[in-house]
Copies of this chain bind each other. A is one copy, B any other.
Amino acid sequence: MTEKTENERFERGHALLNKIHGTTGQDVLKGISETSPDLSKFITEYAFGDIYSRDALALRDRQIATIASLITLGDASSELKVHIKAGLNVGLTKEEIIEIILQMSLYAGFPRAIHAIKAAKEVFEEQED
């Protein structure tokens, strides 16, 4: 059992969150922090400091898994947009993201694929501005 301090986990998570999500991530956490600073802290420490920072899977591969999961969950379109944007940040192409959505028509059904295409469209259009 290593003796890493809380602070190390937070700092590592904070840096990785910025790398993956850019200013979007900080905006999401700021909105959460007004009501629950602890939820914001746990996302930084556990999701990013503990999980995303592990070397055993590339960030690009992690975003494939996350986008697939959010499409399957179905109701998380604001989260999905945040992670489609992050996918582009860590090396997925627009074509690959569309392809993940097509693949999800098989496992999550067409309604969730259609919603995901709308989310992708909005992200792609914002990127062009």
User: Which A residues contact B (CB, under 8 angstroms)?
Assistant: 1-7, 9-10, 28, 31-32, 34-36, 38-39, 42-43, 46-47, 50-52, 54, 56-57, 61-62, 64-76, 78-79, 95-96, 98-115, 117-118, 120-121, 124
26 A–B contact pairs at CB < 8 A? A2-B6, A3-B5, A4-B5, A28-B114, A35-B124, A36-B98, A36-B101, A39-B113, A39-B114, A42-B105, A43-B114, A51-B105, A54-B102, A56-B99, A64-B64, A66-B107, A68-B72, A69-B72, A69-B104, A73-B74, A73-B112, A74-B75, A76-B112, A78-B115, A105-B109, A107-B111
CA distance A52 to B114 in the complex (A): 18
CB distance from A82 to the nearest CB of B (A): 9
Using Cβ atoms and an 8 Å threshold, which residues of chain B touch A79?
Answer: 111, 114-115
